[in-house]
Amino acid sequence: MPGWLLWLTGYLVVRVRCAAPERFLNLALAQGLYFWDARWMGEEWLEIRIRAGDFRRLRPAARQARARVRIRRRVGLPFWWRALRRRPGLLWGVVSVVAAVYVWSCFVWSVEVAAPEGWQRLGPGDILAWAEENSLRPPVLRANLDANRLAEKLMLDRQELAWAGIRLAGTRVIIEVVERRFPDTATSTGPAHLVAERDAVVEEVTVIAGQARVKPGDTVRRGQILIAGIMLPEEGDQAQPGQGFSRPRLVSARGRVWGRVWYEAVGQAPLVEEERVPTGNQVREIKVIVAGREINVKPLRGIPYASFQEERWWWAWPVWRGFSLPLAVEAGTYREVEVRRHGRSLEQALDAARARVTAYLRVQIPAPAEILEEQVQVLPATPGQVRVRVTWQVRQNIATVFPLK
Amino acid sequence: MAQGEKSSGGSKLRRVESSLVELLDLPADVVFDLPRLTVIGNRRVVVQNHRGIVAYTPRQVRVGATGGEVEITGEELQLEAILSEEVVVRGRIARINLRLT
């Protein structure tokens, strides 16, 4: 019998003192009893283990072999239960602790934000604020939380994000985000030029340090020097005799150059929109992986749906103090989806395409910028699609630091 | 003595039985009720078909069997299980002596 089953039925640790313990054992064996883990405890006492119910039946053998039998320990659920019954307070305590832990674990108690690739424009506070707005504020019932839907919403709400994932880890919610990469605009401390970030028409030049090389109305190319960090000697300096040769001075150019910049993007949208609606049907497979060996607990014989969404779930025995068990559970859920096609008018499709392009452009422009003009041009497209080009004229700071060393 | 007659009659029967067993290729432990030993390294011996425990000390276990006894010598010996069908001896086993006729 396995150990846990013995524990469930209960057993006794009994000590026997007898001149001929073997005789006692054989007599008891003849009664149909059985023992395990028999060992000598010192010279006189033999310790044996028997099933809880067999103790009474030990009596005749003990009498015949003139053995003294003593119960040392009662082990197992029945004894545990009996002790508990005598102390109802303890029982209620245990039940209420278990219930409290269960109820507690139904809630999310903390929200954490992680950015594996670091922060750029956003900070953890922004994401936490978003979480608050979207009623992800502890305590939240875990059951009410749709992590996938929330992650999708986060990505839509925050265009600065390239990716967002939300997962539940016990009573914690971990929001992982990856920001879109933007060029580094860190100001350098050494000598530097300010150069044009993109092709633009200069509108306004404000110099704090350095020498302006462009004036309003100039067309500049990307990379062209706007405010130079090299101060060339003025004409008047050279004219002065006896002063010697005045050398150019290096500074860290600072200032602001506003320019008109054109942003352009093309996007398309289908005239027939596809929507994938879950039908509620689903099949599931469950695998248990023990020490690298896969056991199909609930195997799957093919997926009976024409179109479906797959969702995988993975659990591995957690590492606790460097100790883990090679046990993992993998489950796959396949949800049937119905593909619904909605035809839409040309205007609706154009609006959708335009919204898509606009969302893209909004991420491209820097934070302090002003959209001056928007042009939408309908382009020829493949049948069933509409295609638009959106051009934005934006007023923005076009200066970016270009270190001289 | 009645017992002697019985045993000599038994040995004659045994001989017939023996040749029959060989002829039919039957397992001897089943037919003759002989002990069957399973030895796992030096840590465990399972004696099936036993006739009770003759002696038990931490250094020696003697298990009764048809035709004699099985003597297991070693150190820190424990009787892991004592059932009517089998006895399991656990410990550092050094020697197994078969005192069978």
Residue A97 is assigned to a structural domain of this protein:
no
* Mean local confidence (pLDDT), A298-313: 84
Of the residues A207, A230, A261, the one at which a domain ends: A261
Same domain, A350 and A319: no
User: How distant is the alpha carbon of residue A149 from its chain centre?
Assistant: 13
Of the residues A306, A335, A364, the one at which a domain ends: A335
Q: Is A24 on the interface with B (CB under 8 A)?
A: no
Dist CA B30 CA B36 (whole Å): 9
Using CA coordinates, name the residue in chain B closest to A42: B58
Closest CA relative to residue B69, chosen from B32, B41, B97: B97
Chain-chain contact of A35 with B82 (C-beta, under 8 angstroms): yes
Q: Is A183 on the interface with B (CB under 8 A)?
A: no
Same domain, A356 and A311: no
Q: What is the pLDDT of residues A239-293, one digit of tens each?
A: 455 455 567 778 888 888 999 999 999 988 888 888 888 888 888 888 888 887 8
Q: What is the pLDDT of residues A284-298, one digit of tens each?
A: 888 888 887 888 888
Residues of chain A positioned with their CB less than 8 A from the CB of B53: 22, 25-26, 29
Residues of chain B positioned with their CB less than 8 A from the CB of A29: 52-53, 82-84
Chain-chain contact of B56 with A34 (C-beta, under 8 angstroms): no
Residue A100 is assigned to a structural domain of this protein:
no
Closest CA relative to residue A158, chosen from A196, A119, A185: A119
Provide CB contacts within 8 A for A326, sequence distance 6+. A289, A290, A291, A292, A317
* Domain chopping of chain B, boundaries: 1-32, 33-101
CATH number for the domain spanning A141: value is: 3.10.20.310
The pLDDT, as a whole number, for residue B60 is 93
More confident residue, A274 or A331: A331
Instruction: Tell me chain A's radius of gyration from C-alpha atoms.
Output: 39
Beta strand pairing call for A369-379 and A45-51: unpaired
Q: Note down pLDDT in tens along chain B; length 101 residues.
A: 444 444 445 567 777 777 777 777 777 777 778 889 999 999 999 999 898 899 999 999 999 998 899 999 999 999 999 988 899 999 999 999 998 88
Residue A171 is assigned to a structural domain of this protein:
yes
* Residue to substitute from A37, A41, A47, interface B, most B β-carbons within 10 A: A37
The pLDDT, as a whole number, for residue A182 is 58
Number of domains in chain A: 5
Chain-chain contact of B56 with A37 (C-beta, under 8 angstroms): no
Same domain, A331 and A305: yes
The pLDDT, as a whole number, for residue A52 is 87
Q: What is the mean pLDDT of chain A?
A: 85
Dist CA B52 CA B60 (whole Å): 15
CATH number for the domain spanning A52: value is: 3.30.70.240
Question: Domain containing A360: what range?
Answer: 264-271+344-396
The pLDDT, as a whole number, for residue A202 is 93
Under DSSP, is residue A357 helix (H, G, I), strand (E, B) or coil?
helix
Same domain, A73 and A119: no
Residue A38 is assigned to a structural domain of this protein:
yes
Same domain, A69 and A13: yes
First to last CA, chain A: 79
Same domain, A146 and A175: yes
Q: What is the pLDDT of residues A59-117, one digit of tens each?
A: 888 898 899 999 999 998 888 888 888 888 888 888 999 999 999 888 888 898 988 88
The pLDDT, as a whole number, for residue B71 is 94
Annotation: CATH topology of B33-101: Immunoglobulin-like (2.60.40)
Residue A194 is assigned to a structural domain of this protein:
no
Chain-chain contact of B79 with A39 (C-beta, under 8 angstroms): yes
Under DSSP, is residue A155 helix (H, G, I), strand (E, B) or coil?
helix
More confident residue, A200 or A3: A200
The pLDDT, as a whole number, for residue B5 is 43
ipTM of the complex: 0.72
Confidence of residue A189 (pLDDT cuts 50, 70, 90): low
**φ, ψ for residue A4 (rounded to 5)?**
-70, -30
Report DSSP letters for B9-46, one per residue. Answer: HHHHHHHHHHHHHHHHT--HHHHH---EEEEETTTEEE
* Mean local confidence (pLDDT), A222-249: 69
Using CA coordinates, name the residue in chain B closest to A49: B81
Report DSSP letters for A3-66, one per residue. Answer: HHHHHHH-EEEEEEE-S-HHHHHHHHHHTT--EEEEEEETTTEEEEEEEGGGTGGGHHHHHHHT
Q: Where are the beta strands (DSSP E) in A317-384?
A: 327-343, 369-379
Same domain, A316 and A375: no
Q: What is the pLDDT of residues A117-172, one digit of tens each?
A: 888 778 888 889 999 888 888 888 888 888 888 888 888 888 788 888 898 888 88
* Residue to substitute from B79, B80, B84, B92, interface A, most A β-carbons within 10 A: B79
Residue A192 is assigned to a structural domain of this protein:
no
The pLDDT, as a whole number, for residue A239 is 47
Tokens encoding A377? 């041009």
